[in-house]
A = this chain, B = another copy of it.
């Protein structure tokens, strides 16, 4: 289990390649920064976090999901700082014996991260205006 908050770009690859052979299903989610917000052209997003608490809460979410859905493993990475359109802000990956658990667990983790982690984003628009969410 890995839960991480980082400013480095998120590299996407098959995260459970070497985890043994009882894995039957892997579901991954990528949250990507869009180029518009409320139909205004976005220059980039800025994500601020209470990194310590966000990281602790993320690991709590993963732990809950692993127990609730009998997962074999789960990973989540939230990028913070400046993120440009097309870049990945959130990566979640889970694996389980069967597919149903993986789909449900991945969705649960993404929802929980968005609801529970002390992370905030600010739109920086092409026209120079800014707005916190």
Contacts and interface: CB of A to CB of B under 8 A. Distances in A.
Main secondary structure of the interface of A (DSSP, over half): mixed
A4 interface: no
Stoichiometry, as copies per complex, reads 2
Interface in A76-102: 85-86, 88, 95, 97, 99, 102
A21 B85 contact: yes
Contacts of A103: 29, 103, 106-107
Q: What range describes how many residues of A lie at the interface?
A: 20 to 34
B86 A21 contact: yes
A117 interface: no
Interface string A14-26: 1000001111111
Contacts of A106: 27, 103
A13 interface: yes
Contacts of A102: 29
B32 A23 contact: yes
A49 interface: no
A32 B28 contact: no
